[in-house]
Amino acid sequence: MVRRAILLLLLATVQGQAADGPSFRRDVMPILFRAGCNQGTCHGSSRGKDGFSLSLFGYNPKGDYFRLTREIIGRRVNVAAPEESLLLLKATGAVPHTGGARFSRDSDYYKTLLEWIREGAPDDAGQVPEAIEITLSPTHLLFQGQDKPVQTTVTARYSDGTKRDVTSLALFYSNNPDTAAIDKNGLVQAVGRGDGYVFARFSRFTIGSEVIVLPPAAGYKWSKPPVHNYIDTLVHDRLQKLQLLPSAL
């Protein structure tokens, strides 16, 4: 009981105070998103996972803060001994975790969470700017054969007008991995001829970039078929982008 009272006092001391270090909503919540903690297959499911629930994709930061810091005092977040917080031990695989290790102790994710806990795991004071838009660049990628991989960048624009590179906090996937693959850091690699999209997700936003993979240059020449209407124009433009010839009538 004494230990619980001390931990509650430590948490109450920082509750509502502005912190110079990591922000719960701008820094901690995106890490939980990136690590997959609040996805529907993990703690974001309607029933949670292994007795711990988070809001799906972080839609309820206030509730998530309570569950992390107040639901089981001194266990998930231990401000008296930050390195012993289950939030860190389970995420790094130091103790058994159904989801396995999500990041390493030398990662920026671990360092940010540890710093936040060391500062008393404060909630954010006042209004916190929210992400209102994300962009993924480049918006179009064209590969000729097995060109070098291309690094994409995700930028978030916030309600206060500021912008932030959130590439390291975004999730990435491809809708056609046989044509273009994208790794967890946003690096796009050509796989085979074709077209598709790679997507980035951050906060409540998802955005995509078109990817076209062409064969190595081998004397492709457009046959200039007749154009009868605007549909022909659109089809011909697409065929030329993909370096394909129209079939004979």
- Give DSSP secondary structure letters for 158-183: ETTS-EEE-GGG-EEEES-TTTEEE-
Q: What is the pLDDT of residues 83-131, one digit of tens each?
A: 999 999 999 999 999 889 999 999 999 999 999 999 999 999 888 999 9
| Interatomic CA distance for residues 19 and 21, integer angstroms | 5
Give the model's pLDDT for residue 7: 47
In a domain, 225, yes or no: yes
DSSP assigned state of 217: P
What would the mean pLDDT of 3-19 be, rounded to a whole number? Answer: 48
Does 1 have pLDDT greater than 70? no
Q: In whole numbers, what is the pLDDT of the chain averaged over residues? A: 87
Shared-domain flag, residues 114 and 7: yes
Residue 19 lies in a domain: yes
Rounded mean pLDDT of 47-57?
89
HSE, CB side, 13 Å, CA atoms: give it for residue 173: 6
Specify whether 86 is located in the same domain as 177: no
Pair (6, 98) in one structural domain = yes
Same domain, 14 and 84: yes
Domain count, the chain: 3
CATH of the domain at 157: 2.60.40.1080
Residue 151 structural domain: 131-214
Mean pLDDT across the stretch 176-190?
96
Please indicate, yes or no, whether residues 80 and 139 belong to a single structural domain of this protein: no
Identify whether residues 182 and 240 lie together within a single domain: no
Are 94 and 38 in the same domain? Answer: yes
Lowest mean pLDDT among 19-28, 155-164, 230-239: 230-239
pLDDT(192) > 80: yes
Q: Which residue has the higher pLDDT, 84 or 14?
A: 84
Q: What's phi and psi for 220, nearest 5 deg?
A: -65, 135
pLDDT in tens, 125-163: 888 999 999 999 999 999 987 779 999 999 999 999 999
Cα–Cα distance, 29 to 67 (Å, whole number): 13
Nearest to 174 by CA among 203, 144, 213, 118: 213
Write down which residue in 75, 95, 118 finishes a domain: 118
